[in-house]
Amino acid sequence: MDRPRQRMVNDQLIARGIHDGKVLAAMASVPRHLFVDSALASRAYHDCALPIGCGQTISQPYMVARMTELLELKETDRVLEIGTGCGYQTAVLSRICRRVYSIERIEALHNRARQNLRAARHANVMLKCGDGLLGWEEYAPYDAIIVTAGGFASDAWLQQLKPGGLLLLPEGEGGNHCLVRRRKLGRGWSEEYFDACTFVPLLEGVNHL
């Protein structure tokens, strides 16, 4: 799968303006085909989102790279991810920063992500099945928070960011989202808007089915 993965990096990422060397290296090294069903493995490096069960999807490679690049991560950073899904975005983040704390509300996906990340040998990741809207206060504050479902920011996330930290999420409703990046300042926030996009909805609570 090395050749399709490198072609993905060249044709879908570099060609569309992803330039951060750390992000490109992570995308080139994480075996995306291990994070999808075996029946979809042949499409793992295609330019599209794919179903991962439970009504959820693994994001298109470009969107994973774009969101990762917008976080401006350093190797010493600690990142909170809201929405583990199958663990692919988690794996990409873990190749760049010191530690990733990731929360998934759907227990079946949480268990699958744990298996996927173990198979891909990502050791600097901590996973939790819980309500992502509450964040993960135990390990706060974080250098960055990334949200992989569309909705609106939770006060808990903003409180759990370090001063100067970044919160990135697809903001909006009804499938009409826009990537929004907020930086926590001494007083208040700065705010930047980026790509229009479509994500599964951000939901509260925990699903143990």
Q: How far apart (Å, rounded) are the C-alpha atoms in residues 176 and 147?
A: 15
Mark residue 164 as left, alpha or beta (left: phi above 0; alpha: psi -120 to 50; beta: remaining): left
Taking only Cα atoms into account, the Rg of the chain, rounded to an integer number of angstroms, comes to 16
Cβ neighbors of 17 (< 8 A, separation 6 or more) are none
Q: How far apart (Å, rounded) are the C-alpha atoms in residues 76 and 81?
A: 16
- Residue pair 206/107 in contact by the 8 Å Cβ criterion: yes
Active site residue 59: yes
Name beta bridge partners: 193: 180
Set 29, 38, 59, 154: catalytic member: 59
Cβ neighbors of 183 (< 8 A, separation 6 or more) are 164, 165, 166, 189, 190, 191
Q: Catalytic residue positions?
A: 59
